[in-house]
Chains A and B, each alone.
Chain A
Amino acid sequence: MIERVTILGRRGCELLEALGRAGVFLFLSAVGIPSREGWYLWLRQMHFVGVLSLAIVLVSGLFIGMVLALQGYTLLVDFGAEQALGQMVALSLLRELAPVVAALLFAGRAGSALTAEIGLMKATEQLTSMEMIGVDPLRRVVAPRLWAGFVALPLLTIGFSVVGVYGGYLVGVEWLGVFEGSYWGNMQASVDFIGDVGNGMVKSLVFALVVTWIAVFQGYDLIPTSEGISRATTRTVVYSSLAVLGLDFVLTAVMFGGLN
């Protein structure tokens, strides 16, 4: 019995230690003024985590918007309220689906790649040799990736929303024959720019920080073997998915749940 409590205590200490390390890591990486070289490194990571994730995010957005419209229509048409389709599609996308699904896709597409890349650099002693050359790998390797992820995910989320709304339009208006004016009109009347688009963006920024942080930290902190890299990659996807879904509930409760 006492042994179990001891194990619990040890796990707790380990968890706290890891959190502390991750916090110091985030601080050391993110704080500091980037050099001109740093801008270019950031640009390159933007290409890697942003532009290359665009295709999967946009295609998913289109399909999710189309499915929303299809499901929503069959539900709403029973109440004769299919004019509210635009509002339903836009609100569910802006408030929930775009930030969450884009973050999950981002964790799978870019997060795991970041972990594997940094892990491989660690395993092949590139990080150590960088340190020996007198360059801080936190600033040179981690910081550009962290900032690129932080900027790229909100942009991807915007893309997801836009394409999703358009997908809803395609199915709802073009195919199912909802009146175009009421699709957009109802949407415009019910969507509030600050309350819905703005809060969705805040969510997305939080998710971007958390997912990228988890990804680069897992890469930097892993055991530098092939097994360590594959485990860390899995951990990145699992932890960031859980963190995104958990935080989404908390943020939704604060933003829309009247808990404020």
Chain B
Amino acid sequence: MSDTPFVVVEGLHFSRGDKEIFRGVDLQIPHGKITAIMGPSGTGKTTLLKLIGGQLTPDAGRVLIDGEDVHRQSRKALFAMRRRMGMLFQSGALFSDLDVFENVAFPLRVHTDLPASMIRDLVLMKLEAVGLRGARELMPAELSGGMARRVALARAIALDPELILYDEPFVGQDPISMGVLVQLTKRLNEALGLTSVVVSHDIKETLTIADYVYVISDGRVMAQGTPQGLDVDQDPRVSQFVHGEPDGPVPFHYPAVDFFTDILSTGGRR
């Protein structure tokens, strides 16, 4: 990690309506590594990815990708910048009117003038990398959730991006496809020298592949470090999250009046 970080997030503030989601988040995401961003559900991890991808604009703070401020770009420059990024969505987000082949070919057709034969070769290469070359003629509706995500991964790497953002890649998968996706993420990162950002709350899987981990809670970075470092972290909040304890500093109960007084009270219908 001697070189400058690829993505820098500085003092990020963002709120949606009256709800403050980020209150000063600072992140440094190094080149060629897998950085995991974790945190309990509802802490705005997906929002953070959208802020990095330039789809949302922060209230304060900035996001630098390779030294350029994402939110200070013209629409055109932003779209050009996005060619260097791939994003994998929670649902896969395959285009439902195109088959698997066309989905992967889509970024190539839009951004390059390659001849049809070369597009075919590239698409088959990417599909081979995710092990779905045989499924090229299926429509997205015919794929299982795990397969759809692998196709989406092939599409995300179609243009050989430098940065790839994973939004909850492991959520809701059976153990086999979860294992496949974990392996793929790791292998692609090594083989292509990608910078990966994985947003997830699947602790076990994420910790096995991540090089560096940020834990976000209450709109701030609560903890950071290597997976090994976090595992032995003494902070009770970190320990609760990393080890998945049901009760701790993050309470099991939604805030309420004392149970005993509540149950004995007679006023009101509730």
Contact = CB atoms under 8 A, between A and B. Distances in A.
A5 interface: no
A134 interface: yes
A130 B83 CA distance: 11
A136 B106 CA distance: 13
Contacts of A134: 79-80, 82-83, 107, 110-111
Interface in A122-141: 124-126, 128-136
Chain A interface, >50% SS class: helix
Nearest to B89: A125
A124 B110 CA distance: 21
Contacts of A129: 87, 89, 93, 152
Contacts of B50: 128
- Range class of the A interface residue count: 10 to 19
Contact of B90 (A121, A125, A131): A125
Contacts of B85: 132
A121 B96 contact: yes
Contact of B110 (A120, A121, A128, A135): A135
A120 B96 CA distance: 10
Contacts of B55: 128, 131-132
A129 B55 CA distance: 10
A126 B93 contact: yes
Interface residues of B, number: 24
Interface in B225-254: none
A256 to B, nearest CB: 43
B91 A124 contact: yes
B6 interface: no
Contacts of B110: 133-135
A131 B95 CA distance: 12
Contacts of A126: 93-96
B146 interface: no
Interface of B: 50, 53, 55, 79-80, 82-83, 85-87, 89-91, 93-96, 106-107, 109-111, 152, 155
Interface of A: 37, 120-121, 124-126, 128-136
Given A132-B55, A132-B87, A135-B79, 19 more contacts: A125-B90, A126-B95, A126-B96, A128-B55, A129-B93, A130-B95, A131-B55, A132-B53, A132-B82, A132-B85, A132-B86, A133-B110, A134-B79, A134-B80, A134-B83, A134-B111, A135-B106, A135-B110, A136-B79
